[in-house]
Structure 1
Amino acid sequence: MLQLDHLTQRYGALTALNDVSLTIGRGEFFGLLGPNGAGKSTLMSLVAGLREPAAGTLRLDGVALAGRPAEVVRAIGFVPQSVALYEDLTADENLGLYGRLYGLAGRKLAARIDACLDAVQLTDRRRHAVKTYSGGMQRRLNLAASLLHEPKLLLCDEPTVGVDPQSRNAIFDLLERLNRDGLTVIYSTHYMEEATRLCSRIGIIDHGRILALGTLDELLAQLPAAEVVSFARNGAPAPALAALARFGTLRERDERCEVLLAPGVRLADFFAATQAAGWPDRAFTLKRPTLEDLFLHLTGKTLRE
């Protein structure tokens, strides 16, 4: 569906995207995961046509995006990070304006407005001014505006910032349903739980580069250890602890110990050894790696503004 080749974008001395190449398959729900300032919004803006890259090319369905032919513009829906609505207009008026910008009119436009308002559960507030909406309602209407023209590719740039849990879940449900119906979605976020729930494939981006790319399972396999087993030391003798070291890396932390299991270690073998040493199974806590573990492993833990 989308091919990005060696994209680079600069703002003065700052390189926001650095030689990024990426292929998005038809029907994918692709997650772009990164901290603030990683380059997510810059990449989205290039695909949406808000900016032209300093270097590199973009192709949608095999058609070059340079020059933005009309069929390419109509194939893309864009949900920007900032709400792009006219607050003094009603939902009907906002969607009517956006629909006409995409060439919709008459019964077709009216039908699409009805369908999109129903999809985001705002039909009963259609004649109310947007300035009377909650933040979650505005975000849902923002999404409706991007769907009016029935795009092939939907770009969602952190669409749930500041959204209440009910509206966030409604947005998730709608995007998942649209994706099942064939819509290709690119979704940028810095929330691990969003990427974990929604995305069939994830790219972790930082400092303008794609650091890791794959399904959730493929990404987690890149961590140094697959699983961590922790337990209370409770005066365990050194030989008993040393016996566990053959399963991975043993770390002692105050009154607790951790074993970072080596790749290929079977949990059954580990627990057979602990039982032989007299430890009950309930003494152990098993922690599997998460997307957050990998994210922090790749991007670091230092706060950045």
Structure 2
Amino acid sequence: MDIMCKDLAMHRVVVLALENVYPFELGIPARVFGAARGPAGEQLYEVVTCSLDGGPVTTSADFAVVVEHGIEALETADTLVVLPFAWEPVEKNAIGLPADLPADVFATLRPGTRVVSICTAAVLLAAAGLLDGRSATTHWEEAEHCQRLFPRVDWDADVLFVDDGDVLTSAGVAAGIDLCLHIVRRDHGSAAANRAARHCVVPPWRDGGQAQYIERPVPSPSTAATAATQAWALQRLDRPLPLAELARHARMSVRTLSRRFRQEVGMTPGDWLIHQRVELARHLLETSDLPIDQIARRTGLGTSASLRRHLHAAIGISPLAYRRTFRATEAVDQTPKH
């Protein structure tokens, strides 16, 4: 199949799979981007998987995969996703890169190509100098090693993913799903991302700043006691929800409710409420023309100043700027992508 003859209006995601690729991460881009559909059900992305030579690729498991395309596919990428592979440090301050990996593997990318790494594939971007002077993340277990290898990169081991504009990196394993959904959301809005998430049966949104690893036991169903109160609160975000009222609904003391929230969602009830209110505000900014002060009231944030403060703390921009971003995205979506 000649990938150069595909519909050029569709955003092409090229996935680079190297020897000893991890099978789980291999499936993430095709699954998430393949599930992304527009309002009329139209496909939003074309996903092409390639290897260095266009031949079969070994995996970290006991099987290989057949890949149809070679490294020339990188020249056609609108977005390049680099997958992690099983590697062992050859010494304390080195990394075992694939022997057949060209030093200029990314040289054929067109200007403006978005580059994405999942998990430890960030080392390939770092080795190529693509992360110099940038913020990035990787699997928390490898962050210290990466910091030694690539000190010019601002490694953050405490987040799920980092969006640095045209270069994005994710933490380990399933965080690649969060990053791919974030890209769909950035490209096409929350409705498209939510549809893709529902199709893949995964949570539609985990903030990139969420901790990679929380050292706590997973609560069993019998101890996950705040779920009903969370659902109840989500239907009442437009009104004050003091901690005492949440505790009454959960039939717990305030102290017990706070402890259970920390165990089950990794944050206090107050922080969880703010997070949910900001997410609702983002949804309304993306999908409605409601005035900012009305959105602030509907989300329980009170005033436009409060909304502006909390949104800036969460994602670093104002409500108007956020809304303009998605209006611009809608306009771009009407034009061909090359």
Which structure: greater helix fraction?
2
Pick 1 or 2: higher relative contact order, CA cutoff 8 A, min separation 6: 1
Select the structure of larger CA radius of gyration.
Answer: 1
Q: What's the TM-score once normalised by structure 2's chain length? A: 0.28
TM-score (norm 1): 0.31
